[in-house]
Amino acid sequence: MTQNIPTNARILIVDDEPANVRLIEKILQKNGFTNTKSTMDPLDVLPLVEVFQPDLILLDLHMPVKDGFMVMEELGELIEEQDFLPIVILTADVVQETKIRALAAGAKDFLTKPIDHAELLVRVQNLLQTRALHNEVLDHSHLLEERVDDRTRQLRQTQLEVVGRLGLACEFRDDDTGLHTKRVGILASKIAASLGCDNDFVTLMREAAPLHDIGKVGIPDIILLKPGKLSSAEWAIMKTHTTIGAQILDGSPHALLNIAEEIALTHHERHDGAGYHGMSGEEIPLSGRICAVADVFDALTHTRPYKEAWPVSDALQEITAQRGRQFDPDVVDAFLAVVESEYAEAEDESSETEEQEA
């Protein structure tokens, strides 16, 4: 019975009667409980509990200045809800009403004065054993929580990896580096952050924007990879990559794929309504408006089979010229702020390097 009871358990004794304190200490120490602390002043209890961190408190009910009820009330604010800190009430008052009041205030057991040695020991041992078991359960549930968190993290990683590879698969046909999709995701998330969007949305933009062209998987090579200009019939087919993409991503219960669907459908919409599906202004979801700018900037500044990369300054000029026409003006401003701060950072870094070299 006593094998699970830690004899190094910390026991706090609170009683304004020195004789009682001495007696309890003696009984406990005689039975191996040497880690005890005592006070005759109820005002000392709270600071003592904070420092000593007792496993059990023996508490007198009737004390001057602050009685046991007041002490328990204060302890209630200090002790975490999940902690099981047993309080044993020491009292000569065995009235039922007092007992109920003490139990409601947090007491776990009673010892009637004058104190019986055997009873004190059994009650202390029982409660310490309960506390030890409670802590074991708590540790176990923390361990389980950690495992669940770990598995959830792994699942999310797998989900992200699959989504990333999906983006790569569709990109592979016209950009075998697959870097365009990643860059668009990164830039789109930076624009979202610059617009003041919340962190969840910023993260979702980084993860979802790389899927903007996923619908290209349904466009025949002869059109997708055509080096020359597309005929109007071919162009009409090319435009369907937005609806094909939205169909592929449709109906998911996950926010990531919902935003990806929104982006796939609307990333070629224009602020002035002259885009693929004729949406305009705020009718176009913010995700689509952001991705439109990120996609065009990245496409302009990188080499494609059919064009050379534009200098960044020319691309910035083009995006600015399209502010309020092709692109949402607020999104363009946020984009320019991102570019400006990155340019300033790059300047700082290069001047630091120059200083170091000098």
Question: For residues 113 and 91, is the Cβ–Cβ distance under 8 A?
Answer: yes
Q: How far is the CB of 268 from Fe ion (least distance, A)?
A: 6
Nearer to Fe ion, 85 or 205 (CB): 205
Closest approach of Fe ion to the CB of residue 151, in Å:
36
- Give the contacts of 136 (CB within 8 A, at least 6 positions apart): none
Residues numbered 48-67 forming contacts with Fe ion, rule: CB under 5 A: none
Nearer to Fe ion, 171 or 213 (CB): 213
* Smallest distance, Fe ion to C-beta of residue 264, A: 8
d(CA 105, CA 113): 20
Closer to Fe ion by CB, 15 or 213: give it. 213
Q: Which is nearer to Fe ion, 265 or 316 (CB)?
A: 265
User: 327 pairs with which residues across the strands?
Assistant: 323
Nearer to Fe ion, 213 or 298 (CB): 213
191-220 residues in contact with Fe ion (CB under 5 A) are 213
Q: For the CB of residue 156, give the shortest distance to Fe ion in the complex, in Å.
A: 27
Q: How far is the CB of 276 from Fe ion (least distance, A)?
A: 9
Rounded least distance, CB 267 to Fe ion, Å: 6
Chain residue whose CB lies nearest Fe ion: 213
- Residue 269 as a binder of Fe ion (CB under 5 A): the answer is no
Residue closer to Fe ion (CB basis): 109 or 174: 174
> How many residues form the binding site for Fe ion (CB under 5 A)?
1
As a whole number of Å, the end-to-end CA separation of the chain is 76
- Write out the residues near Fe ion by the rule CB under 5 A: 213
